[in-house]
Structures are given as C-alpha cells and as structure tokens.
Amino acid sequence: MTNNLNQNNMKTFRIFILCVLCALTAQAQKQYQLASPDGKLKTTITTGKQLTYDITLDGQQVLEASPLAMTLDNGEVWGEDDKPSKASRKSVNEKVPSPFYRATELLNHYNELTLQFKGFNVIFRAYNDGIAYRFVNKGKKPFNVVNELVDYHFPADGTASVPYVKQRQGQNRWANSFENYYANEPLSKLEKEKLIFLPLVVSMDNNVKVCITEVDLENYPGLYITGQGNTQLTGEFALYPKRTEQGGHNNLQMIVKETENFIAKVDKPRNFPWRVAIVTNDDKKLASTDLGYVLAEPSRLEDISWIKPGKIAWDWWNAWNLDGVDFKTGVNNDTYKAYIDFASKNGIEYVILDEGWAVNKKADLMQVVPEINLEELVAYANGKNVGLVLWAGYHAFNRDMENVCRHYAQMGIKGFKVDFMDRDDQEMTAFNYRAAQTAAKYKLILDLHGTHKPAGLNRTYPNVLNFEGVNGLEQMKWETLRTAQVEYDVMIPFIRQVSGPMDYTQGAMRNAAKGNYYPCYYEPMSQGTRCRQLALYMILESPFNMLCDTPSNYEREQECTDFISAIPTVWEESIVLDGKMGEYIVTARRNGDTWYIGGITNWTSRDLEIDLSFLGDKAYTGKLFKDGVNAHRIGRDYKSEAIKAKKGDKVKIHLAPGGGFALVLK
C-alpha cells in the first residue's frame, strides 16, 4: 500500500514538474501574429531561445520557422534568449511619390509589428505581396557586426531560379560583377560551394513563388545565399576590407587583399537593410511588385526638377562604328559630333562617352586623351539640345570624387556612368550612397554600372537613374552560341527587375533567329527578333535607357528608330497584362494619354490575345510592330501596321520563336 502511494506521489510530482517546465517555456517563448492588409499572407514571430518567423499564404505553409539573429563583437547576439520589453503595431495605407519610375505614385499599404529589445528593435511588415523584417540599432556605442543570421527554411524541395556568382581567379569569393544567367534547380541540388546573389526566386506547389531580396542597402554588405543540400537557404556576407590594392580592369578597381573578421562597422543608431520575401501565386503580381521601392528610404533631395531622364546614344557596344563617313571612327571629336547629330535629329536626350575618353590606366579623370576636346563637344552638344554623359572607372571617380564632379559640372557635363565597382561589401555600398550625394550636390545624374541591384537607392537619391546588376545585351559581343539570352529575358522581369531599374542596353538592329547567332565584337547582334528589341523598351524599366546600336544602323532602319525615339523612359502607370516566368510577358505602360504595350516570348512561338480593357473611354489609333512571317528564320523580319482600338477590344498577335511585339495607342 505504501509503495503504491509513493509511486502515485512520484507520478504526481513528475506531472507537476512537467507542467512547470511547460509553463516556463511558454513564458519564455512568446508568439506574435501579423497579417497582410487583405489577410491572405501571414507570419508568426516567435521570441525566446531563438527569434524566428514563418510565412503562410492562404493557409499554405510557404516558409517554416526561420531564425534571424545578429552577432556583435562585444559578445551580444541579438535574437537569442531575448525577451521583448514592448510590442507595438501600426497600419499604414498611403501613396508615395515615385518619380522616374513605373508610375507617378505607388501604394504603400502594410501592417507593422515592432518588437523592442534591450539595445535593438526588430520591425516586421506584412504587405499583400510580401513579408519584410529589419534590425534597428538603438545604442550609441560603436560596435562591429561579426555576422547576421539569415535563414530560409522551406517546407518542401521547390525549384530555385538563382544567379550564381562567377568566381574570379585571384580574388575573394565575393568579388563579382553581379551578372549571370539563371540556373533552375531543386533547392536540395543547389551547388553548396557557390554563392548566389540576389534577387532569387523559389517556386513551390500551387504556383507559389517566393522572391528573396533586400532593400535599403546603405552602408552595409549585400546578402548572398548558399544552398545547404536540403530545403534550407542560408545567408552570407562579404567581410569588411582590411587591405585593398589598385588593380583589376585597366587599374580602375580596388581589389580586396585582406579582410577583417567582421562584416560591418556601426558607430551610431541606425536601421539595417530590410530582408524581403515577396510571396505570390500569380506571376503577374511578382513582376508588378513595388516592395523594392516603397521599403526604401524616401528621397533626400528637396529639389529634383533638374533631373532629366531620357535615352542615350551609346558608343561602346557598337564599337564607335559609323559607315559612309569621311573620317576614321573611334574615340575622337568627329565621331562624337556624328553621334550628337544623330541624337539631335531623333530627339534623343543624351550621348555618352564611354571608356576611352580619359587616358588609359591612369585612373585620373582629369587626363583627357588628345583626340578629344571636351569643351568643344559640350558646346556642340548644347547647340543641338543634347546632353553629354561621361564614363568613369570606380577608382578614378572615387579617389577624386568632389573635384571631378565640380569640374565637369561646371564644364556642362550632365552626369556619369560609373563602372567596375564589382563588390558589395560595406565599403562599396557606402560608396554608392556617397557618389549619389556628391553627384546631386553638383546636379549630376548617375548610372551605377558594374554594381549590384538597386536595393532602394533610386528612391533615396532619384538622381541615380539606372543600375546594372544584370546580364545585359553587352554580353552578346562575346557569348557563345549556347548563350541563354532569350530565356534570360523572360526571367528578369520576374526576378532582377523586382529590385528596380536596370541598364540592360537594348535596341539592336542586327537580330539573329534561333541558330543564326554568333559572337561578333565589332558588329554585335542580338538573339531573337527585331520586334523583341522594340518590346524590351516597354518590358524593362530603365529611366536612363541606351540605344545600343550604331547611328548608321538606326538610319537604315528609320521606322524602328522613330518608334524607339518616341518611347518615354518614365511612366504614369504600368500594368503587367500577362506572363509566366521563364516563358513570356506582356506589359502596358502609360505616359499621358498614350499607351505603350510590349510582349516577348522564349524560344517557343506563341499566340497571344491582348485584352485592352484597361484603356480609357475613347477611340485609339496607333501602330503595331509584329514579327514577320519569316522571322523564325530572319530575325530582322517584321511587319508594321496601323491599328484602331477601343476599351475592351482583344488583339491577337503571333510571336515567332524568340519574338515579340510592340504596340503604341494614342
């Protein structure tokens, strides 16, 4: 009897202890729910031993509980064994101005949860198309960030569309130009030894897609992703440079030779970048998301009236070619005067002097080659109502930024295309903002070529009109026949363009049907049809947009040139009408009362029906450019025809393999 009582007492005691432990665990761990304004997208945030969040869409698990943390060099680990002292919520529904972008203004509609901890906050936002979070430092004491834990735990083995870093011989693993085609592989089969740069997309059941990116990347290293051989993705960051040496392309780069054992220096209270997961089961919504813009810091420029977007006659891709002239073309005043004449005649706002106008391998933008008289060219261009833009290598621009900007602004130069940064460690992302600020001081526009994705900089400094971070048409000068440019073109509107505008440099007049392409450095060509090149001016976002081909080719193709010249580079309204990532896309954009509509396909021919229900209540007339009947064999074959249309009409268009169409309605 006594033994039975003892056993019962012990059992009761164990149950009591378990209850206490469960209560303590529950007390230590706390959960917070946050839902999008439409209630379809939800995240559960758990605090305690580990700070985690998950994501569901319409009840489907999209992301399992994934940890986030930040490790400091003082031994603190934000997000581990942390209990928030306060949780606050707010909802925002506003319109934000978006000059020089896809619309006059954008909707910024979200629910927000802020968790306050000792020394730091974590902010979560739920939009209808994504979940974002960021760390915020509240302390005034300086410290270094040793690492930031960024993990994505997917519930199943989805398909990842990822751009791998192309490893550079003799440089660290983070040195790259942020250019590559997309590999489409199961999460579990991603190459673990290779870094992936952002954005990337993971495709899951029920057509759910998760696009991973970051926004507000100021003075902090960019995020890379690595596969883990399972359904998990893990973040990695470039270490802070300890020692750099001049070198690289024409001695215009600073190559990192040694690194510190931390990723970032912090010397004051600050916000860290937003970690963004865009989530949708509609490909059109993925291509339409505005999170890359609305999450960024608002403009720091009070006056933007002087910023003039537009198109640029570009010299480098076509190797300064002109035919039928009586002078030797190249980097000289005669060539650039011909480009200026072409731009003026066709209403093109700018001419760029790409690499070659400054003395080679000197990294000194004050040393101009003797073949160029810049003052004479500026005066000539001004008389033709054309602005001049100068190419600048990173080191040459960075080492003398203030003087260079002041000098050339006084001369009448309108801006710079800065190239070959090829890094996104903290030192380099800080450079991008400093360059933007300095250029704005002297009313100069910037095209940050040779850099990473925009990540919101174009909102904060609207004078930065364009960015590369894209495997653009320049690759067609040297890529092999196996290159996947046509397939790439129907991926980037759903992936890279999510982050903002891109300097893709379309407009080729030599167009190769499938099987006809070959690399040609001095007379390059595009893959796909002529109409594809026209359509890219509507599909791709680029407030500072190149015409890549030679004026001589454009003059032989005046109908196409007239069409390109009339296309705006900024828009009052944009609509993705149809599309499927990796297959095709159709986009409509409005400027004033005029609509511009473009569509492209992969190497599969396609019949599309364009629903014009978005038109205003008036009769429209316009012009349609479509692939010619022989465009599958002769890429330049196209047909143009006048068209009448009204709201609700449906236009049927056939696209050749690698083809496209372009339609303007007034």
Cα separations in angstroms, 185 against 227, 486, 544:
11, 19, 34
Rounded CA separation 540/520 (Å): 24
Nearest to 526 by CA among 558, 491, 483, 469: 483
End-to-end CA distance of the chain: 97
Residue 323 to residue 70: CA distance in whole angstroms:
59
- Contact 154/427 with Cβ under 8 angstroms? no
Known catalytic residue at 419: yes
**Closest by Cα among 528, 493, 564, 485 to 655:** 528
Catalytic residue among 474, 479, 489, 541: 474
- What the block records as the tokens of 204 is 């899951």
Residue 665 contacts residue 620 (beta carbons within 8 Å): yes
Report the alpha-carbon distance of residue 476 to residue 480 in Å, rounded. 8
| Residue 201 near residue 581 (C-beta atoms within 8 A) | yes
Cα gap 286→288, rounded to integer Å = 5
- From CA 223, how far away is CA 217, in angstroms rounded? 9
Helices (H) and strands (E) in the chain, counts: 13, 40
Sign of CA dihedral 619, 625, 630, 632: negative
CB hemisphere CA count around 524 (13 angstroms): 24
Residue whose structure tokens are 């949860």: 113
What residue has token string 């550079």?
168
User: CB count, 10 Å around CB of 246?
Assistant: 12
Give the Cα separation of 58 and 42 in Å (integer): 8
How far apart are alpha carbons 194 and 203 in whole angstroms? Answer: 20
Query: How far is 638 from 528, CA to CA, in rounded Å?
Result: 12
Q: Read off the DSSP letter of residue 240.
A: P
Q: Which of 487, 447, 485, 454 is nearest to 469 (CA)?
A: 454
- Tell me whether strands 80-82 and 86-97 are parallel, antiparallel or unpaired: unpaired
3 state DSSP class of 446: strand
Q: Cβ–Cβ contacts within 10 Å for residue 392, how many?
A: 26
CB neighbour class for 216 (10 Å; exposed up to 12, middle 13-18, buried from 19): buried
Out of 214, 419, 424, 427, pick the active-site residue.
Answer: 419
**Beta partners for residue 547, in sequence order:** 313
Active site residue 422: no
DSSP 74-121: TS-EETEEE--SEEEEEEEEEEEE-TTSSSSEEEEEEEEEEEE-SSEE
Q: Rounded to the nearest 5°, which phi and psi values hold at 523?
A: -135, 70
Where in the sequence numbering do the catalytic residues fall? 419, 474
